Amino acid sequence: MSERQHDYKRHGSRYKARRRAVDILFEAESRDVDPVAIIEDRHKLATAIEPVVAPVAEYTEAIINGVAVELDTIDELLEEHIAETWTLGRLPSVDRAILRVACWEMIYNSDVPVTTAVVEAVEIASQYSTDNSSAYINATLDSMAHKVEALRERAQNPQAAAALMDDEDAPVAPWDDSIDEVTEVTEVAAEDAPEQA
């Protein structure tokens, strides 16, 4: 067998759907158009009498629609996890597309195991982007994977998360349970203290 045949790796339909979603997000950013509009165009072209393009897979469409709806939250989460010396805007657009697809799967699609989203994003990066991309995409997504449950909660209720972050220095409400613990400790200490005349 040739070396090339040894490197051959069979990819399933989900992997192909992810890769096509990356293509569409990249194209949308390059052309400055809505990725959902590209999906609609692809549907028309695929159902024409003489189809010009292959039909868009259901899962590709789900990813694109999900990323389009949750783009602000996805970008905010990615910005927080990219290395300090980088910003999302400084990354190559293909890397942004790969990160957005993986982030959407990790945060919004619990049917996909987190490790699968990370591994397949790294593999797509190794095919589509620079030699260095795979490493920092892996690092970024791995950092997110370690606290994925907290990120999912935050994504489900971004207003509450923002309010929580804003209220960290706010005065504590009198009904806050954490105050009761401090009060109980203070009362016990006061009871144990010797009475002064």
Tens-digit pLDDT profile for residues 99-117 = 999 999 999 999 999 999 9
Contacts of 121 by beta carbon, 8 Å cutoff, 6+ apart: 18, 98, 99, 101, 102, 137, 138, 141
In the chain, domain spans: 3-172
User: Rounded mean pLDDT of 12-28?
Assistant: 95
For 132, half-sphere exposure in the C-beta direction (CA atoms, 13 angstrom radius) is 2
Are 26 and 93 in contact by the 8 Å Cβ rule? The answer is: yes
Does residue 173 sit in helix, strand or coil?
coil
> Domain 3-172 belongs to what architecture?
Orthogonal Bundle (1.10)
Q: How high does pLDDT run on average in the chain?
A: 81
Residue 104 is which amino acid?
W
| Spatial separation of the C-alpha atoms in residues 178 and 155, rounded to whole Å | 26
